[in-house]
Amino acid sequence: MSVEKVREHLKSFGFEDRIMEFDISTATVAEAAETLGVIPARIAKTLSFKDEEHGCILVLMAGDAKVDNKKYRAQFGVKPHMLSHEEALEFTGHAVGGVCPFAVPENIPVYLDVSMQRFETVFPAAGSAASAVRLNCEELHTCSLSRGWIDVCKGWGEEE
Task: Enumerate the domain spans of the chain.
Answer: 2-154
Mean pLDDT in residue range 128-155: 97
Taking a C-beta distance cutoff of 8 angstroms, is the pair 87, 124 a contact? no
Mean pLDDT in residue range 128-147: 97
**pLDDT tens-digit series, residues 6-35:** 999 999 999 999 999 999 999 999 999 999
Res 122 pLDDT > 70: yes
pTM over the 0.85 mark: yes
Question: Phi first, then psi: what are they for 55, rounded to 5°?
Answer: 90, -50
Half-sphere exposure of 118 (CA within 13 A, CB side): 15
Would residue 37 be called left, alpha or beta, if left means φ above 0 and alpha means ψ between -120 and 50 degrees? left
Which comes out higher in pLDDT, residue 159 or 116?
A: 116
| pLDDT for the residue numbered 158 | 55
Per CATH, domain 2-154 is 1.10.3080.10: no
**pLDDT over 90 percentage in the chain:** 94
Q: Which helix (H) or strand (E) holds 110?
A: strand 110-113
| pLDDT for the residue numbered 106 | 93
Half-sphere exposure of 63 (CA within 13 A, CB side): 24
| pLDDT for the residue numbered 1 | 59
- State the Cα–Cα distance between residues 143 and 105, nearest whole angstrom: 14
Res 142 pLDDT > 80: yes
| pLDDT for the residue numbered 156 | 82
Res 160 pLDDT > 50: no
**pLDDT tens-digit series, residues 72-112:** 999 999 999 999 999 999 999 999 999 999 999 999 999 99
Name beta bridge partners: 132: 20
Res 159 pLDDT > 80: no
Mean pLDDT in residue range 138-155: 96
